[in-house]
């Protein structure tokens, strides 16, 4: 599959999801049996951990089709980057989507500031650059979109594996935004 084929497949799957016409393919015991020998997902999705955002459903995919990393705020931290590096270097995955979403709680917490405890403060430190780069008084959803864009840059800046694959044209990284009400994914 080419990179354009992968993008078309993701977009068509999202259209089916929005239209409530999921095809439900590749979700049975035969598919599970196929995957015991290995995996070759065609896309990596760095998504928020929010329970309302389920990439496998939003793109109408079956088992083994997408490699999903979920972390609040869809941040490119050491662990999420390492997971993506694995899929790029060892599985040959060609497309990375950084998927932000409407009304993200992690981005809202970063915008609001304050002390959220050691661990959450650490996570939010990956989002505060997007808050700082946003216009004063920007809407949370605008910060969410900027955060998705900035995390696409972080993947390249913080990983020689990902950067080399992008530079060779073997991998494409795209920011995207999931609309909670419609389920539509907007590629930014």
Q: Give ∠ CA 78-81-85 in degrees, rounded to 5.
A: 135
What DSSP state is assigned to residue 26?
A: S
- Give the pLDDT mean for 123-133: 97
List pLDDT tens digits, range 104-123.
999 999 999 999 999 999 99
What's the whole-model pTM score? 0.95
Answer whether residue 18 shows pLDDT above 90.
Answer: yes
Distance in angstroms (rounded) separating the CA atoms of residues 93 and 90:
8
pLDDT of residue 27: 87
Answer whether residue 24 shows pLDDT above 90.
Answer: no
Distance in angstroms (rounded) separating the CA atoms of residues 188 and 176:
5
* Residue 42, both tokens: 């065609």
CATH code of the region 3-187: 3.40.1050.10
Beta-carbon contacts of residue 13 (< 8 Å; ≥ 6 apart): 58, 59, 60, 61
Partners of 173 in the beta sheet? 96
Distance in angstroms (rounded) separating the CA atoms of residues 39 and 93:
10
List pLDDT tens digits, range 41-97.
999 999 999 999 999 999 999 999 999 999 999 999 999 999 999 999 999 999 999
């Amino acid at each position: 599959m080419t990179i354009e084929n992968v993008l078309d497949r993701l977009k068509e799957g999202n259209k089916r999801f929005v239209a409530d016409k999921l095809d439900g393919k590749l979700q049975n015991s035969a598919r599970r049996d196929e995957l015991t020998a290995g995996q070759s997902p065609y896309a990596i999705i760095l998504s928020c951990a929010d329970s309302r955002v389920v990439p496998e459903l939003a793109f109408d995919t079956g088992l083994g089709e997408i490699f999903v990393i979920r972390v609040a705020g869809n941040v490119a931290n050491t662990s999420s980057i390492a997971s993506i590096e694995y899929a790029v270097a060892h599985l040959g995955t060609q497309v990375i989507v950084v998927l932000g979403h409407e009304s993200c709680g992690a981005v809202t917490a970063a915008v609001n500031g304050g002390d959220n405890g050691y661990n959450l403060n650490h996570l939010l430190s990956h989002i505060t650059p997007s808050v700082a780069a946003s216009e004063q008084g920007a809407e949370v959803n605008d910060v969410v979109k900027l955060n998705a864009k900035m995390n696409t840059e972080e993947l390249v800046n913080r990983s020689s594996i990902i950067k080399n694959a992008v530079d060779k044209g073997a991998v494409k990284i795209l920011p995207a935004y999931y609309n909670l009400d419609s389920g539509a994914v907007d590629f930014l």
